[in-house]
Structure 1
Amino acid sequence: MRDVLFAAADIWMIAVGLICGVKFIRDHHNYLIGLEWIIMGVSGINFLIYGVTKAGPDSPAHHIAFFLDAFSRSIGFTLILVLGLLVLTHRYKPTTRVEVGAFALAAILGFLLSEFAEEIGTPGKVFFLITALATCGFLCFFAWRLAKVGERAHAAWVAGATALNVAVASIYDFWRIPGDDADHTRFYIFALFTWGLAMLVIYRAYAAFVAHNKRVDARLNPITTAPTPRIETA
């Protein structure tokens, strides 16, 4: 039963990551969040293969899983997510250099924090926790902004998903769920479900915020947003 729940939670995260990631890029031209969501989806695919095949610690899937996990926990699902949301909350327009630099930094830290995890030890785990909590703090601000513009339902969903993310980040390296097995299956079921929920909730809230910004822009610029009148000829 645990294996079934694990697979279901992982497939859930994969679907949300890939679908919403593509929509972020296609519909909103937000490559920061879009690519990170897709990376999360790809990470889920690799993790599913790793779990189903029972691959060992020397397998490529194991190394890829650790790298992608460190990639997202260090910069991807933290700094890159915040930069992507600043596009909405502060009308921030990241340059291509910033976008490429953010992903390059995530790749470098992902490699270092995964390949040298044992050597780094506790400081690396604390770093992951701090970045997660800092990001959750910004997500609380994002929820507040949503509520302020009248999107209270989306604000509540973001707040709830953020609370679950705090729980995941706090448990990840520091606490073992009672009754969990050696592979931490219960934890990963909870974590994968939470990450999938967070990605879906953030996407829906983002779309709602975009719609709000468009309404504001329409009120501020009625001439440019008004339809062009038809000119009838005799």
Structure 2
Amino acid sequence: MELLCLLADIWMTFAGFVYGWKFIRHYDNYLLGLEWLIVGTSGMNALVWLLLGGNQDSLQVPLVYFFDAFSRSFGITLIVVLGLMQVTHRYKAPLAVDIAVFALATGAGLYLQQFRFPEFDLGPATFYLVVNALTTLFLIYFSLRLWRIGAKRLAIGAGLATAAGTAVALMDDFFRIPGDDATRTTFYTLALATWGFQLCAYYFAYRALHNHNARMGAEPMSGQHSVTTSDRGEPTTSAR
């Protein structure tokens, strides 16, 4: 099971770095790009920790809890919603908003990282549950938008990723997998694999909506670049 956990972490790290860079490079979407890169960095930090033996006194442990709190509070919630709105509502957040939401997530991560397993605190757990539920409502809408443009497989994939992410969020605080060990290896194997799946599924779903909007002439432009589509379906930028 330890090997599976290691592989799941590598998968999530790969998805975070690769698709995070693609969000920035191809779509000029720094909200999603940076959040994906942060998740990738979190996975890399956890990977180093696992390879060094998983010592609870390791310097990586505080970072593990910080990155977890960062993403669960306002990262894979508010930041993701604002980032996806670029293809659902043609809304590109101004730089001030980008900075503000990342500062908010950083502050939340620094504060909430103190609440650590195996201790249970109802306040943070309820907060995580509420923000996840609100984000899930938007992601259901996001999947429906994909279905309506005919991207049914991607819509199903995004929907399954959202459902799996919600299940993981519930297990994180309120449920325990029977027979799991003291370090929750089974849970974290499922969680890391699920988070990697989410990063991948949302990227391809975003790409489909972006390309649909571009064909309809509805994709917002940013900066001094025009957007064209490459043979692989990836947009490329060229200076005007």
Alignment TM-score > 0.5, same fold: yes
Q: Which has the higher helix share?
A: 1
Q: TM-score, normalised by structure 1?
A: 0.89
- Structure 1 residues 65-80: aligned runs within 5 Å: 65-80=64-79
Q: How does 1:6-85 map to 2 (within 5 A)?
A: 6-85=5-84
**Cα shift at 1:168:** 0.2
Counterpart-to-counterpart distance in 2, 1:173 and 1:60: 24
Q: Which residue of 1 aligns with 2:86?
A: 87
4+ residue stretches of structure 1 with deviation over 4 A? 116-120
- Whichever structure has more strand as a proportion of its residues is 2
**Aligned-partner Cα distance in 1 for 2:166–2:114:** 25
Matched with 1:111 is 110
1:137 match: 137
- 1:117–1:124: 8 Å Cα contact kept in structure 2? no
1:41 partner amino acid: G
Determine the C-alpha separation between the residues in 1 that align with 2:163 and 2:114.
30
Q: Percent identity?
A: 44
Q: Deviations over 1:10-44 (max 9, x none)?
A: 00000011000000000000000000000000000
CA distance in 1 between partners of 2:217 and 2:182 (Å) = 54
Shift of residue 55, structure 1, vs aligned partner: 3.9
Please tell me the residue identity of whatever aligns with 1:74: S
Match in the other structure for 2:234: none
TM-score by length of 2: 0.87
In 2, the alpha carbon distance for the partners of 1:165 and 1:202 equals: 12
Asked if the contact 1:11–1:44 (Cα under 8 Å) also holds between the matched residues in 2, the reply is yes
Q: Could you say what the CA RMSD is over the residues aligned between the two structures, in angstroms?
A: 1.8
1:56 aligned partner, one-letter code? N
Structure 1 residues not aligned, in runs of 5+? 219-223, 226-234
Q: Deviations over 1:172-219 (max 9, x none)?
A: 01111011000000000000000000110000010111110011008x
Residue 120 (structure 1) shift = 9.0
With over 3 angstroms needed to count, the CA separation of the structure-2 counterparts of 1:120 and 1:194, relative to structure 1, is closer
Unaligned runs of 5+ in 2: 219-225, 228-240
DSSP 3-state at the match of 1:98: helix
Letter in 2 for 1:49: V
Q: May I ask how many residue pairs the two structures share in their alignment?
A: 219
Counterpart for residue 174 of structure 2? 174
Whichever of the two has the greater Rg, that structure is 1
CA contact 1:18–1:41 (8 Å) conserved in 2 = yes
Give the 3-state SS of the residue equivalent to 1:115 in structure 2.
coil
Q: Say whether the 8 Å CA contact 1:55–1:61 is kept in structure 2.
A: no
TM-superposed deviation, 1:117:
5.4
